[in-house]
């Protein structure tokens, strides 16, 4: 597998993967994270592509996964306030959002997270409380639970995790 920037020509495949992910999450006890709003919206993915923060995971010339990645100082506004804990690292970090795979290959999520971590050595992620699959993946990948954050797209709290070199 390799990671590369997503492009507009990849858009329909990216959205197919998100549709698959919504269905997978609903089947695994997490219907509310992306399901009710059909998250993520088309315009957000077009924006991610335009700014160069949309990535795809390619296996044998086929896109099998996708995610948002960026890094910098205090780059995630929703991470400014954390309840029930605290961040363990400094204010310069990478963020992965909207990680999804098509289910065709084992280890897509871990491969994408490992790639992102190699880019910066300090990564923060969050997930819905009902997303036990992602929580397990984050713990397996060496992330530490840091507390609870809130996102702007819905009222569900998110569990916040961090990993540092």
pLDDT tens for each residue of 58-89: 999 999 999 999 999 999 999 999 999 999 98
Q: Cα(75)–Cα(94) distance, rounded to whole angstroms? A: 8
Domain of 35? 2-164
Quick one: pLDDT at residue 78?
A: 93
Confidence at residue 67, expressed as pLDDT on a 0 to 100 scale: 98
Question: What is the C-alpha separation between 136 and 105, in angstroms, rounded?
Answer: 18
- pLDDT category at 114 given cuts 50, 70, 90 is very high
- Note the pLDDT of residue 6: 98
Q: What is the mean pLDDT of the chain?
A: 95
Q: Which of 2, 124, 131, 125 lies closest to 56, judged by CA? A: 2
Helix ranges (H only) for the chain are 11-27, 42-51, 108-120, 132-140
Task: Tell me the mean pLDDT in the region 133-145.
Answer: 96
The total of structural domains in the chain comes to: 1
**CA angle 35–59–130, rounded 5-degree value:** 25
Distance CA 148, CA 151 (A): 10
pLDDT at 95 over 90: yes
Tell how strand 2-5 and strand 54-59 pair up.
antiparallel
HSE on the CB side for 151, CA within 13 Å? 17
Q: Which CATH number characterizes residue 44's domain?
A: 3.40.630.30
Question: How do residues 4-60 score in pLDDT, each as one tens digit?
Answer: 999 999 999 999 999 999 999 999 998 888 877 789 999 999 999 999 999 999 999
- The dihedrals phi and psi of 82, each to the nearest 5 degrees, come to -125, 130
């Amino acid at each position: 597998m390799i990671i590369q920037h997503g492009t507009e020509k990849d858009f329909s495949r990216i959205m197919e993967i998100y549709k698959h992910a919504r269905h997978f999450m609903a089947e695994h006890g997490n219907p509310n994270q992306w399901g009710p709003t059909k998250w993520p919206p088309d315009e957000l993915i077009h924006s991610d592509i335009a700014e160069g923060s949309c990535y795809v995971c390619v296996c044998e010339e086929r896109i099998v996964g996708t995610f948002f990645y960026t890094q910098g100082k205090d780059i995630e506004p929703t991470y400014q306030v954390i309840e029930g804990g605290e961040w363990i690292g400094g204010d310069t970090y990478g963020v992965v959002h909207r990680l999804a795979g098509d289910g065709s290959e084992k280890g897509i999520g871990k491969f994408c997270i490992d790639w992102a971590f190699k880019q910066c050595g300090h990564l923060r992620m969050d997930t819905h409380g009902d997303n036990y699959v992602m929580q397990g993946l984050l713990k397996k990948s060496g992330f530490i639970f840091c507390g609870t954050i809130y996102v702007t797209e819905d009222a569900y709290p998110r569990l916040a995790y961090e990993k540092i070199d």
